[in-house]
Amino acid sequence: MRAPRVLIPVIVALAAGQALAQPAAFAEPTTRAAPASAAAMKSSFAPVVRRAAPAVVNISAKRVVRQQVDPFWQMFGLGVPQQRVAQSLGSGVIVRADGIVVTNNHVIEGGQEITVALNDRREFAARVLLADPRTDLAILKIDPPGGERLPVLAMDESTDTQVGDLVLAIGDPFGVGQTVTNGIVSALNRITDPNGEGGSAYIQTDAAINPGNSGGALIDMDGDLIGVNSFILSRSGTSSGVGFAIPAAVVRRVVETAVGGGRSVVRPWLGARTQTVTAEMARSLGLPIPQGALVADLYPNGPAARAGLRQGDVVLQADGRPVDDAAALSYTIRNHRPGEGISLTVRRAAGGADQTVTLRAEAAPATPPRDERRISGRNPFDGATVANLSPAVADEMGLDLFTASGVIITAVDAGAAQNVGMKRGDLVRAVNGVQIGSVRDLTAATSAQVRSWKITIERDGRQVTAVFSG
């Protein structure tokens, strides 16, 4: 039985600063030691919680939904759909003293009225600066009166976190008020994908993460934010499962984008299709253990090709750290800012020698131009928004960046397209026998006055042709 993923809402506290607060931890790695006595076992987390709690907030998001009446009464023409207000509760973390708050995207998604309640119970209306479903992060802005400086939580994005480190999760589970749970880091760089849109390398913890903890803080013993709690894997559907937090390094990238006025997070790409090295591959390549990412294909003139990578190379390290698999390599590259250099240690396909190359981080190219349009009129695409497919659009949609060119459906609203079953991510291949290579081709094809429509759509690698009346 596959363990269900449970998404949950959460809260956190912080220390003042206009820019993103810096961690309190020392630059030198701290020495770790197990408790040496019964007295040491009784040590309290209170000093750490006292510093962090003021920066943990509660977040509520309200939206109006349409509630259908009982189908039985509808058969007699009785009853009309009713509107009701749905509300989600979660947590958040203040990361800048001027009112920048981080939470999970799923906490505020679809919210028409978002309220942030501080630790002292004051409430403020919040606006969304940036919502990023791919990382499940949302950046909010509140405006405290008189330019008040709010308490903030410093982000520790160093690589010093280790499996076994003590951590605390702070949030507002079940809406009962702020609570704290403790545990340890049980794993690092866990690659999983709760949203089906390209996973991330999460911090795994056994600290209890309850409903309402989503968006809350995972902090270390220095009181610094090392992650934002996001979801759990649970067989029972309750909080008795494995918790996952989005690392602070990812959080900082999204915050920087939002504060800088960006509407979407720019994710650098490798420009290569890679495969995780299996035990069989490792034997054939002469590697001592099955580790690394095998370069299976190169995008013409992409970052990997320009860095000198070749088909058959195996990337063993990135930024001086081992590359466990293909997903870990992708995560490392995406976590860089465009323009930064990334050092890669590569086992060459020819000769088996190791070589270090520098890859320049850059966004996937938007070529051809997006040319996004909403189709309307008496045709099966009415209500669909379409765009030219490029590596940038494919990356945004969570698709294979090597997907052939064409036209992709980016959204489906009320209309004929929704009624006939078109979905976001469908590729339009042909209309009435005409091959569709661009949005301009599709616009011209749908402008025709015809009695029937023969349409070919590609979905999940399979092409389906259907005929609709005009």
Q: What DSSP line would sit under 280-329, residue for residue? A: HHHHHHT-SSS-SEEEEEE-TT-HHHHHT--TT-EEEEETTEE--SHHHH
Do residues 209 and 186 lie in contact, with contact meaning Cβ atoms separated by under 8 Å? Answer: no
Alpha carbon distances (Å) from 168 to 53, 217, 312? 11, 8, 43
Read off the CATH number of the domain in which 290 is found: 2.30.42.10
Do residues 215 and 108 lie in contact, with contact meaning Cβ atoms separated by under 8 Å? Answer: no
Q: Do residue 194 and residue 277 come from a single domain?
A: no
Residue 297 resides in a domain: yes
Q: What would the two tokens of residue 142 be?
A: 């509140």
Q: How many CA atoms lie less than 13 Å away from 176 in the CB half-sphere?
A: 7
Residue 31 resides in a domain: no
Q: Do residue 414 and residue 355 come from a single domain?
A: no
**Which pairs from 144-148 meet CB under 8 Å and 24+ separation?**
144/99, 147/98
Residue 283 resides in a domain: yes
Please provide residue 443's backbone torsions phi and psi, each rounded to the nearest 5 degrees. -60, -40
Among 250, 265, 280, where does a domain finish?
Answer: 265
pLDDT for residue 272 is more than 60: yes
Peptide bond into 368 cis (omega under 30): yes
Residue 335's contacts (CB-CB under 8 Å, 6 or more residues apart) are 249, 250, 253
Q: Do residue 59 and residue 196 come from a single domain?
A: yes
Alpha carbon distances (Å) from 350 to 120, 283, 301, 347, 355? 64, 16, 21, 9, 12
Please tell me the distance from the alpha carbon of residue 11 to that of residue 53, in angstroms, as a whole number: 8
Give residue 179's pLDDT band: very low, low, confident or very high (50, 70, 90).
confident
Please tell me the distance from the alpha carbon of residue 423 to that of residue 98, in angstroms, as a whole number: 40
Please tell me the distance from the alpha carbon of residue 207 to that of residue 22, in angstroms, as a whole number: 24
Q: Do residue 145 and residue 286 come from a single domain?
A: no
Q: Do residue 84 and residue 192 come from a single domain?
A: yes
Q: pTM of the prediction? A: 0.75
pLDDT for residue 292 is more than 90: yes
DSSP secondary structure string, 34-94? ---SHHHHT--SHHHHHHHGGGEEEEEEEEEEEEPPPHHHHTTT----EEEEEEEEEEEEE
Average pLDDT over residues 385-392: 94
| The total number of structural domains that make up the chain | 3
pLDDT at 77: 56
Q: Which of 443, 382, 442, 445 is nearest to 416 (CA)?
A: 382
Q: Do residue 340 and residue 220 come from a single domain?
A: no
Please tell me the distance from the alpha carbon of residue 226 to that of residue 185, in angstroms, as a whole number: 11
Comparing 87-91, 237-241, 276-280, 385-389, the range with the smallest average pLDDT is: 237-241
Residue 32 resides in a domain: no
Give residue 208's pLDDT band: very low, low, confident or very high (50, 70, 90).
confident
Of residues 85 and 38, more confidence is placed in: 38
Give residue 72's pLDDT band: very low, low, confident or very high (50, 70, 90).
low
pLDDT at 56: 93
Give residue 70's pLDDT band: very low, low, confident or very high (50, 70, 90).
low
pLDDT at 19: 56
Residue 313 resides in a domain: yes
Residue 40 resides in a domain: no
Residue 182's contacts (CB-CB under 8 Å, 6 or more residues apart) are 45, 166, 167, 168, 169, 207
pLDDT for residue 426 is more than 60: yes
Average pLDDT over residues 168-176: 78
Comparing 8-17, 68-77, 191-200, the range with the smallest average pLDDT is: 8-17
pLDDT for residue 61 is more than 90: no
Q: Do residue 184 and residue 210 come from a single domain?
A: yes
Please tell me the distance from the alpha carbon of residue 276 to that of residue 271, in angstroms, as a whole number: 16
* SS3 state at 448: coil
Do residues 195 and 32 lie in contact, with contact meaning Cβ atoms separated by under 8 Å? Answer: no
Q: Do residue 398 and residue 352 come from a single domain?
A: no
pLDDT at 305: 94
pLDDT for residue 198 is more than 60: no
Q: Do residue 240 and residue 98 come from a single domain?
A: yes
Among 233, 265, 297, where does a domain finish?
Answer: 265
Read off the CATH number of the domain in which 70 is found: 2.40.10.120
Give residue 218's pLDDT band: very low, low, confident or very high (50, 70, 90).
very high
Q: Do residue 247 and residue 154 come from a single domain?
A: yes
**Quick one: the chain helix, strand, coil %, rounded to 5?**
15, 35, 45
Among 222, 248, 265, where does a domain finish?
Answer: 265
Q: Do residue 321 and residue 185 come from a single domain?
A: no
Please tell me the distance from the alpha carbon of residue 465 to that of residue 459, in angstroms, as a whole number: 11
Residue 36 resides in a domain: no
Among left, alpha and beta (phi > 0; psi -120 to 50; other), residue 110 is left
160 is in which domain, residue-wise? 1-23+47-265
pLDDT for residue 27 is more than 90: no
pLDDT at 285: 85
Q: Which of 254, 434, 266, 258 is nearest to 365 (CA)?
A: 266
pLDDT at 149: 95
Of residues 403 and 81, more confidence is placed in: 403
Residue 28 resides in a domain: no
| Mean per-residue pLDDT of the chain | 83
Comparing 107-116, 224-233, 240-249, 419-428, the range with the smallest average pLDDT is: 240-249
pLDDT at 133: 87
Please provide residue 401's backbone torsions phi and psi, each rounded to the nearest 5 degrees. -70, -10
The catalytic residue positions are: 106, 136, 214
**Residue 451: how many CB atoms within 10 A of its CB?**
6
Instruction: Give the end-to-end CA distance of the chain in Å, rounded to a whole number.
Output: 46
Q: Do residue 327 and residue 251 come from a single domain?
A: no
Please tell me the distance from the alpha carbon of residue 376 to that of residue 353, in angstroms, as a whole number: 58
pLDDT for residue 384 is more than 90: yes
